[in-house]
Copies of this chain bind each other. A is one copy, B any other.
Amino acid sequence: MACALRNTQATGLRHRDNLLVNGLLTDLYELTMAAGYFETGRSAESATFELSIRRLPRNRDYVLLAGLEQALDYLLNLRFTAAEIDYLRALPQFALVSGAFFEQLRDFRFTGDVMAAPEGTVLFAGEPVMTVRAPLMEAQIPETYLLSTLTFQTLIATKAARMVHQAAGRGIVEFGTRRAHTPQAGVLGARAAYIGGCIGTSNAEAGFRFGIPAVGTSAHSWVMSYANEQEAFRKLQQVLGAHTVQLVDTYDSIEGLKQVAALGPPLWGIRLDSGDLIALSKQARTILDDAGLQSAKIMASGDLDELTIAELIAAGAPIDAFGVGTELATSGDAPSMGTIYKLVEVEGRYTAKHSENKASLPGPKQLFRFSDRDVVGLAKEPTPPGATAILQPVILKGALVAPPPALETIRRNAAESLRTVGPRPVEHSLALKELMART
């Protein structure tokens, strides 16, 4: 790919300028609690927090993990500027807090250990995703950012995987930037969708930043900007050559198709964006074939999701690729999921929460994956024969020990995880059960 040279994601650490890493990107209460730990002499106590999946999103029976690279980028670069510290110092909530706390913030570095499941791993409800072991204050502050970044990309990667599955081998291109929740969500959503199996994105920044194949067609405005539709098609061919994708539905899809057919090559294909996509794609195939354009592709778009894609495939619609926007970029039917970040251990004491319907389990944990079941056990347990320990060290003493894999590797691992990790029971190990009974 022409853009591969600019693919800097292998380190994951060069994006600080653009990816909004700063100390205030968190809930204020993380910082008031940090002040509290400090003021009461506890900020250096050793604590372990665990990020886990309390509940799956609605309509989902698994999730595909994504967003770890951005989470690690955050932990490695988290700092507080003088202006940010001045802001906090002036807040009424910090009126009783000593100057020493703000000195501590000025020198803040994350110095802890992080274990995490790799991006592209299929996970289920009740499973741990990441553990953060660090001085209490350092482990508390990242809660909000880690939840946001891992949850969002996981939602999008999962939605993409569902669509790719239903597309049964036809390509899915992520077109959703305009519907994403901010420009940053457009870029990171494109990354997650690629991990989930999409073949490309419309987002130019995601192409530049992550080396994802950036693709595009043309908009209705191109056609409308010409008084004559065929002139618009002809001029597009002149500029894009074999990359030309003609959008035929501005006025009348069949009429547009006939004009495309009359023009002949060069042509990658056509895009249908409205109307009865089953009938239109069949008519399009016939019109293109009759004009000797057998190699021209048919792309469909327009409020598609995995259900409509399945219907189109089942009806035999001769569609070669789908452009999916809104439902993918927002995970429209499930725009949130119940991930939590809970204290599981402090100074060797195991902790758990007993709130109604919102309990958490004590102790730093590990996910042991067997071929047919998953077992959540304690991190200190040896890996049982036949199982794989899913959480692996990624940061030790504040330093990256496992650089994020290349995005293509993550994407391949995701496909493998999706292929091999079916629905399964999630059990607790005997040691975890014993600890739960005691905590």
Contact = CB atoms under 8 A, between A and B. Distances in A.
A83 interface: yes
Contacts of A145: 183
Nearest to A208: B87
A25 B187 contact: yes
Contacts of A273: 355, 358
A152 interface: yes
Interface in A200-234: 202-205, 207-208, 214-222, 224-225, 227
How many copies the complex holds: the figure is 2
A296 to B, nearest CB: 17
Contact of A225 (B47, B205, B274, B352): B47
Given A26-B204, A149-B182, A36 B353 contact: no
A20 B19 CA distance: 8
Interface string A334-350: 01100000110010010
A91 interface: yes
Contacts of A361: none
Interface of A: 2-3, 5-6, 17-18, 20, 22, 24-33, 35-37, 39-40, 42, 45, 47, 49, 83-84, 86-88, 90-93, 95-97, 136, 140, 143-145, 147-149, 151-152, 155, 175, 177-189, 202-205, 207-208, 214-222, 224-225, 227, 235-236, 238-241, 243, 249-252, 273-275, 302, 326-327, 330-332, 335-336, 342-343, 346, 349, 351-358, 360
9 contacts: A3-B87, A20-B187, A25-B177, A32-B218, A87-B208, A92-B243, A149-B183, A181-B335, A225-B343
In the complex, the 9 A-B pairs of residues with the closest C-beta atoms, listed nearest first:
A29-B216, A181-B181, A184-B184, A28-B216, A147-B178, A221-B343, A335-B335, A24-B205, A224-B351
